[in-house]
Chains A and B, each alone.
Chain A
Amino acid sequence: MARFETPHPLMGRRALLKAIVAGAGLAAVPGLAACGGSDKGSATDTVSFGNNLSDQVPKDAITAVLQAFEKESSLKVAINTKQHEQYQEQINNYLQGRPDDVLAWFAGYRMRFFAGKGLTGDLSDVWSKVGGGYASALKEASTGSDGKQYLIPFTQYPWGVFYRKSIWQQRGYEVPKTLDQLVALATKMKSDGLVPIAFAQKQGWPGMGTFDQLNFRINGYQFHVDLMAGKEDWQSPKVKEVFDTWKRLLPFHQENALGREWQEAAQSLGQGKSGMYLLGSFVAQQFKGPDLDDLDFFPFPEINPAHGQDTVEAPIDGYMMARKPANEAGAKKLLEYLATPAAQAAYLKTDPTSIATVSNADTSGYNAIQKKAAQVIKDAKHITQFLDRDTDPRFASDAATNGLNAFIQNPNDIDSILKGMADQAKTIFTG
């Protein structure tokens, strides 16, 4: 044991100790840096911007908008882009760390949840300036439970049934107005050798769109709101009817949906293998040039005459402010700018698959899809966000996604699947 003594032990040990401390310090740095956003030292002339638009087209579009803002305001914008789905998964930690001054998010329940926890900044004074440009439904969707506004709406896109005009003309198909007409049309498409309804559920959320359409067409807007808020029972006959109707339509859907991504389903529509596709208007991102001009859509057909086609699913994307922004004045200035028709038009020029949210936006540059989207949203009596944006994320990400997947796989198991969803809703919405 005594052999452990070395000639200059202390020197060696100290050096070692220093190295350990330095090493631990270095190891800790990237971990800490990852917690917050970008570094904001003296930031009176810079606004940091948390961007979730990671795909090339929308990313270029938002960059162009921010550059225009820089020119106009003499402020600099530091863009901090994260991969779209990762951004959503990390939002909880991101908001509790050092988030960017202005950050991307969605309207509805998901906005209210974080606003209610005090994790985002009050934008009531910005709204008092820009509010005149927005319809009341948009203001409502941007308002937290305490009556204050926490979001600046930027763009919006409706869900509908998309199809190719040329193929429909050639085959003599007509837009169905009721569920029975839809079934008749789908039957005809099947006998013509087409897959009537393209379908993809690999990402877990597209099927929620189908559920929503059926639910508010059958049970109406208010039931959708109450069910999403956990006030209605998933085992009720009303929900069962939604799934029974879906089961009737399922044989017309593209097979193997659980192994397919929405982009692939959109391509089968583009190639003329499928007759129609129920999705958000972002489906147009998969169509280019003449194919894009050939694309058209209609709102989901009526099922219950009491509700008609009064509801449209049209999620709103927008921007929030950090609860303690490093540059509050600059952040509010940027948010005010994002509420202008010019900023939204600049964005939509590069990404023409959604529409502006301000009512006086310049729509002269809209393509046919955008024009129709704007009209459909304007005509709607009620606007919903989307299943995963209208309910508690804990319910949406696990119970709802897996429940719908299980139904698509085994449509005959409706009762046990609904029991599973109802049980989980009880554990989530009560505590």
Chain B
Amino acid sequence: MTAVQDKASGQADPGGTAATSPPPYRRTRRATALPSGDKLVLGLMLGIPSLVHVLFVWVPALGSIALSFSSWDGIGGFEDIEWVGFQNYVDIFTRYPRFWPALQHNLIWLVFLLVLPTVAGLLLAVLLDRQLRFGRLYQSALYLPMVLSLALVGFIWQLIYQPEQGLLNNLLGTADDHPTNWLGDPDINLYAVLVAAAWRHTGYVMLLYLAGLKSVDPALKEAAALDGASAFQTFTRVTFPVLKPVNIVVLVVTVIEALRAFDIVYVVNKGRNGLELLSVLVTDNIIGESSRIGWGSALAVVLLLISLGFIITYLFQVFRKEERA
């Protein structure tokens, strides 16, 4: 990467090497010139993935953006599409009762997942890294939920949350007399579902941190111990800073997980009544008997813009670091 950047800056330099000494520059070009066969191979190797990428990522994304300015029920051809400008956006922001709750829930989802499973996963990883007896067993048990799809997690936790017959109310002794409606009460169901999602996500975070901890050089800890640092100090001053790259991976994984959240709420109650998410609204409007393609696309564009916000911030961070390096 750095080599490429150096070269790029060299070329950009107007009074630099390119102007004063053309021969070596031309020589470099000849050295990279390829036989036509290889050019073909390279062209295909770059071209096919690019084509696939453009065809299956960019065209649908731009298509969604275009359709978000239309009113269309998905029946018939392009001539049946009615263009309405920004009307869908105006209506969504001002008249759609489910939009603001969904946006809010998406943000709660993000913050919750960033805090709880990350802290719990880190704690578990540190504990498991201390070579406990049966450590492997705990590790497998904690990681096990991760192999389940989030939809399946939804089914499992419904058995726990069910008002009359569910495990939780029976354990709390509230099953017979006014049971708590964990998944039906819009004030608490979002958090009930988030606990289920966190149950699955914690194992993932734990494994990532565990891998990071294994790569921490024992000599560092030894040195800290020799300097008289307590276990807590060793962790905060030595181990955790070394884990920095893992933190970034966890952050990215969690943001992705939060923004694509959909299946668990759809399984529980189709994302209604307190469990609205933007992804649910997109699905509700686009899939169905007489779909509102334009309206759903506009919602999808809003979700895209939020995702782009995170992606751009992340890329800025990464590139700035590389520049500094």
Contact = CB atoms under 8 A, between A and B. Distances in A.
Taking chain B's interface residues, is the majority helix, strand, or loop, or is none over half, making it mixed? loop
Interface stretch (B34-42, B132-140, B209-217): B34-42
B270 interface: yes
B38 A431 contact: no
B55 to A, nearest CB: 11
B248 to A, nearest CB: 33
Nearest to B33: A1
Contact of A393 (B31, B162, B290): B290
A256 B179 CA distance: 9
A119 B34 CA distance: 56
A392 B97 contact: no
B19 interface: no
Contact of B186 (A88, A93, A403, A409): A409
Chain B CB within 10 A, most for which of A96, A256, A428: A256
Chain A CB within 10 A, most for which of B73, B91, B288: B288
A88 B270 CA distance: 15
A17 B44 contact: yes
B21 interface: no
B183 interface: yes
A392 B295 CA distance: 15
A283 interface: no
Given A89-B288, A91-B289, A117-B76, A398 B95 contact: no
Contacts of B40: 13
Interface residues of A, number: 47
Contact of A259 (B44, B71, B178, B184): B184
B127 to A, nearest CB: 36
B291 interface: yes
A129 B272 CA distance: 46
A409 B290 contact: no
A4 B38 contact: yes
B269 A202 contact: yes
Interface in B94-131: 95-98
B95 A256 contact: no
B287 A5 contact: no
Interface in A1-32: 1-2, 4-5, 9-10, 13, 17, 20
A369 to B, nearest CB: 27
Nearest to A91: B289
Given A256-B184, A258-B184, A260-B184, A394 B292 contact: yes
A92 interface: yes
A411 interface: no
Given A89-B288, A405-B273, A13 B179 contact: no
B290 A92 contact: yes
B285 interface: yes
A113 B35 contact: no
A73 to B, nearest CB: 32
Nearest to A113: B290
A2 B41 CA distance: 13
A9 B37 contact: yes
B163 interface: yes
B245 to A, nearest CB: 31
A94 to B, nearest CB: 10
Nearest to A9: B37
Given A394-B290, A409-B186, A20 B48 contact: yes
A204 B184 CA distance: 12
Interface string A414-431: 000100100110111001
A190 to B, nearest CB: 15
Interface in B26-80: 31-32, 34-35, 37-38, 40-42, 44, 48, 71, 73-76
23 contacts: A1-B34, A4-B42, A5-B35, A17-B44, A88-B288, A91-B289, A96-B74, A256-B184, A258-B185, A258-B273, A259-B163, A394-B290, A397-B289, A398-B284, A398-B285, A402-B97, A402-B98, A402-B272, A402-B273, A405-B272, A423-B95, A428-B292, A431-B84
Interface of B: 31-32, 34-35, 37-38, 40-42, 44, 48, 71, 73-76, 82, 84, 87, 91, 95-98, 162-163, 178-179, 181-186, 269-270, 272-273, 284-285, 287-292
